Structure 1
Amino acid sequence: MLKRADILLMAFCTGLIVANIYYCQPLVILIAKDFKISESYAGHITYLTQIGYAVGLFLLVPLGDMLERKKQILTTTAIAIVSLLLAAISKNFILLQIASVFIGITSIVPQLILPLAANLSNDEERGKNIGIIMSGLLVGILGSRAISGTVGDLLGWRAVFFMAAILCSLLMFLMAKRFPQSLPTFKGNYKALMQSMFGYIKTQPVLRETSIINFFAFAIIMAFWTTMVLFLANEPFKFQAYQIGLFGIAGAAGALAAPLVGKISGKGNPRKNLKIGFALQLASALLFYFTGSNLFVFILGVILIDIAQQAIHVTNQTRIYTLVPEARNRLNTIFMSVSFIGASCGSALGLWLWDKGGWALFCYGITGIVFINMLIYKFYGSKKF
C-alpha cells in the first residue's frame, strides 16, 4: 500500500520529468542564434519532441503490463538522462533534433507512474492519489517554460538541458530508493500485448466514452492556450512574450483542483463530475467572449477552463483504472493517445478559428465543442451495455 510520502514523491517526479517535453519551447530563439538558423527551422525541435512523446506513449507505455514497472521507469529515466546530455552537447542542429526525439520518447515516465500508483492504491484512495499526481504533472507543465526561459537567458540554452539531466539523475536515485515494485500480470509476447489493446477498445464502452470525451476536452484546452497568445499579443493588451507566459500561473488553479476532483471521483458515480466540467467550460467561454479589455474577467476564465479540464481528465482517468486492473498501462495508452491527438487537433483548430474570425469565432468554436461532448455524454448515458 502506498504511503502519503510515496504519492507526493510520485507527483514530484511526474512534474519534473514531464517538464523535459516543454523546456525547449522558450529556447528556440537562443538555439536559432547559436546554430545560425532561422527561428522557424529551430522550432522543429518542439514538434519533434512531441512526435517522440507520441511514439513512446504508443509503443512503450503498454510494456508496463508486461514488465516490472519500477524497472521500466528507472530504465526509461536513464535513457532520458543520456538524451538530455546529448542535447546539451550537440555541436550541430541535426544532432539536437535526434536528441529531441529521444527526449520526447523517454518523457512518458509520468504515464508509467500513474498506472503504478493506481495499481498500488486501494479503491477508496485511488482517485485522490491520481489527482495528487496529476497536480504534479500540471505544475511541471506550467512551470517548465518559465524556468527554461529564465535559465536560458542567464546561462544559455545548453545549461537548461544540463540542469534537466542533473534533476533526472537525482530523481532516478530517489525512485530507485523509494518506489515499490509492481509485478506484471501479462504473460504473452509484445505482439499479443499490442493486439489486446484493440480488443479493449471493442469490449470496453467506458474506455470508448472517456477517450472520446477527453479527445474533445484536450482539443478545447489546447486551442485556448494556443490562441490566447495571439489574443493577448494584439489590441487592446499588446503583451510581450514573458508577460503572456505569466498567465500560466492562473492555470495553476487546475493543479489545486485535481486532488479534490480525484477524491470525489473515487466515490459514488464519478461520471457526474463530467457535467461540472462541461458547465465550467461553458462559463469560461462566456467570460472569454465578453472579456473586452477587462483583464480580471479574462483571468477568471483562465482559472475556470483549467479547473474544468482537471474535472474531466482526472475523472475519466480514474474511471479507466477501475476497468481491467491487469491492463492499466494498455488502457492508459489508448486513453492518452486519443487525448494527445485531440490536443494536436485543438491547436490547429484554434489557429484556424483565429485566422477566420478572431477571438469571437474562437469562443463560438469551443462552445460548440462543449455541446458535442455533452451529446456524447448523453448518448453513452442512455445506453445499456
Structure 2
Amino acid sequence: MPNIPAAAPRLRHAVDGAGLGAGLTVLFAFACGALAANLYYAQPLVGLIGDSVGLDSSAESWIVTASQIGYGAGLIALVPLGDIFVSRKVILATMAANVASLLGLALAPGLFALFALTLVVGVTSAAAQLLVPLAASMAPPERRGSVVGNVMSGLLGGILLARPLSSFLAEYIGWRGVFGASAAVIAALLVAAFFLLPSRQPTATKTYGALIGSLGRLFVDQPLLRRRALYHAAMFASFSLFWTGAPLILLAEPYGFSPSGVALFALSGVLGVFAAPIAGRLADRGHSRTGTIGAMLAAVVGFGLALFGETSLAALVVAGILVDLGVQANLVIGQREIFALDESIRSRLNAVYMATFFAGGAIGSALTSPVLHAFGWKGVCILGLGFPAVALGYFLLGERRPG
C-alpha cells in the first residue's frame, strides 16, 4: 500500500479490514465537521456581511445560497473521483484548496470577490463528502450504519456549531476573522490528514468524463437513491429557510439580539447532533421507515411551532431543535440506505444524494430573504412546513412497505 505514509504503519490493519479505530473515527468526524461548517458560518452573519459590502437586504440570503451552490458543484465534480482515484490524494488536494479560498474570502474587497470566493469555498468544502464514503467502505456491513452515524455526528456537529460559533466570534474579530480562523483550523487538519489518513484503492476504471456522465443515469436508474435524495432535498430546504431566517428576525425588533444573543439561540440546534448515531442504529436494525416518518414529522411540527416565533422565543427554540433533529436523522437514514446499493460506486451515490439535497438547501436559502421581505416570518414558516409535509405525504402513500 504505497500511498499510506510510513509515519502511519499502524493504520494498515484498519484499512485492510479491521475497520475504523477510535483515533481515525475522531479524525474523520472532526475533519468532516470543520469542512462542512464553512457552509454555515455566514448564515447568522448575512446582515453584517451585506452591510460591509453594500448588499441589499432582500438579497442577503444569497450569500448562503452561493456557498451551497458551490458545494453542490463540488459534490458533482469532485466527490465521484473517490471511485477512480485513491481518495486520500483527492481529499488532501481539496483541503489545501479550501484553505487558500478561505483566506481569500477573509480578504475579499467587494461583492464580486465575495461571491466568487464563497463559491470556491463551497466547492472545496465537498472534501467532507469524500471522507464519509471512505469511512463507510472501511466498515463491516453490519456496522455500516453506526460507523456512518458516528462520522456524520462530527459533520453535523460542525454544521450545528458553525452558527453559534460564527455569531460569537464575529462580535470580537468580525466576519472576516471568522473565515480566517476557519482557514487555520482546516490547515491544521490538513497536516494531520497527511500523516494519518488511510488510503483505499478503488476498483472502477472509468474515465473522468464517463464518471461524471454516469451521475445522471444513477439518479434515473436507482429509484431508492432518487427518492431518498428528493426527500432530503425537501427537508434541507426547510432547514435552510429556518436557519437563514431565524437570525434575521432575532436581530430585528422586538428581540433586538446582538450577535452573541443569536449565538446562544443557535446553540439550541446543537442537540440535533444526537439524532445521527441514533438514526444510524435504527436503520441497522431495520427501522428505516419508522425513523423516516419520525424525522419528517419532527420538521413539520417544528415549523408549526415556529409560526409563534415572532412573539415567543421558547417556541422558536423548540422549533429549531425539532427541525435540526428531523433533518439530521433523515440524512443519516438516507445515507445508510444508499450506501447499501453498490459498494463500487459509493462515492457517486453519495455525490448524487448530497448534490440533490443541497440543491434543495440552496432553494430554501435563496427564498428566505425575499419571502421574509414580502410575507414576513409567517410566510417563511408556512413555506418551511410545506416542504417536509409534501415529502412525508409522498413517503406514506408511495412507499407502502416495511423497513
Q: Does 1:344 align with 2:362?
A: yes
**What residue number does 1:119 align with?**
137
Letter in 2 for 1:283: V
Q: Larger deviation: 372-381 or 257-266?
A: 372-381
**What residue number does 1:250 align with?**
268
**What residue number does 2:4 align with?**
none
Percent of matched pairs sharing the same residue: 32
CA distance in 2, matches of 1:74, 1:312: 29
**What residue number does 1:109 align with?**
127
CA distance in 2, matches of 1:287, 1:31: 29
**What residue number does 1:197 align with?**
215
CA distance in 2, matches of 1:136, 1:181: 20
Does the 8 A contact of 1:139 with 1:252 survive in 2? yes
Q: Larger deviation: 190-199 or 141-150?
A: 141-150
CA distance change for structure 1 residues 141 and 382 in 2, over 3 Å: closer, same or farther?
Answer: closer
Q: Does 1:273 align with 2:291?
A: yes
Kindly state the Cα deviation for residue 62 of structure 1 after the two structures are TM-superposed.
1.0
1:239 is paired with a residue of what secondary structure?
A: coil
CA distance change for structure 1 residues 365 and 150 in 2, over 3 Å: closer, same or farther?
Answer: closer
Does the 8 A contact of 2:68 with 2:359 survive in 1? no
Q: Larger deviation: 97-106 or 107-116?
A: 97-106
Does the 8 A contact of 1:16 with 1:140 survive in 2? yes
Q: Does 1:218 align with 2:236?
A: yes
CA distance in 1, matches of 2:148, 2:27: 13
**What residue number does 1:133 align with?**
151
Letter in 2 for 1:2: L
Kindly state the Cα deviation for residue 164 of structure 1 after the two structures are TM-superposed.
2.6
Q: Larger deviation: 39-48 or 306-315?
A: 39-48
2:39 is paired with a residue of what secondary structure?
A: helix
CA distance in 2, matches of 1:125, 1:352: 44
CA distance in 2, matches of 1:295, 1:107: 33
Does the 8 A contact of 1:223 with 1:351 survive in 2? no
Kindly state the Cα deviation for residue 40 of structure 1 after the two structures are TM-superposed.
4.2
Cα-to-partner distance string for 1:181-221 (whole Å, 9 max, x where unaligned): 11112101011112222222222111111011111111121
CA distance in 2, matches of 1:6, 1:12: 10
Matches within 5 A, 1:127-206: 127-155=145-173, 158-206=176-224
| Aligned counterpart for 2:279 among listed residues 261, 268, 289 | 261
1:258 is paired with a residue of what secondary structure?
A: helix
Letter in 2 for 1:38: G
Kindly state the Cα deviation for residue 301 of structure 1 after the two structures are TM-superposed.
2.1
In structure 2, the gaps of 5 or more residues are 1-18
In structure 1, the gaps of 5 or more residues are none
CA distance change for structure 1 residues 182 and 28 in 2, over 3 Å: closer, same or farther?
Answer: farther
CA distance in 1, matches of 2:67, 2:135: 26
Does the 8 A contact of 2:310 with 2:377 survive in 1? no
Does the 8 A contact of 2:148 with 2:280 survive in 1? yes
CA distance in 1, matches of 2:317, 2:66: 31
CA distance in 1, matches of 2:161, 2:51: 23
2:231 is paired with a residue of what secondary structure?
A: helix
Kindly state the Cα deviation for residue 9 of structure 1 after the two structures are TM-superposed.
1.6
Does the 8 A contact of 1:32 with 1:39 survive in 2? yes
Letter in 1 for 2:151: I
Matches within 5 A, 1:1-385: 1-23=19-41, 26=45, 29=48, 33=52, 37-40=53-56, 46-88=64-106, 97-155=115-173, 158-233=176-251, 236-290=254-308, 293-351=311-369, 353-355=371-373, 357-382=375-400
CA distance in 1, matches of 2:355, 2:99: 24
CA distance change for structure 1 residues 207 and 351 in 2, over 3 Å: closer, same or farther?
Answer: same
- Number of aligned pairs? 381
Give the TM-score taking structure 1 as reference length.
0.87
Q: Larger deviation: 357-366 or 368-377?
A: 357-366
Give the TM-score taking structure 2 as reference length.
0.84
CA distance change for structure 1 residues 78 and 365 in 2, over 3 Å: closer, same or farther?
Answer: closer
Does the 8 A contact of 1:80 with 1:107 survive in 2? yes
Kindly state the Cα deviation for residue 109 of structure 1 after the two structures are TM-superposed.
1.0
Does the 8 A contact of 2:164 with 2:265 survive in 1? no
RMSD: 3.0
1:15 is paired with a residue of what secondary structure?
A: helix
Kindly state the Cα deviation for residue 159 of structure 1 after the two structures are TM-superposed.
4.1
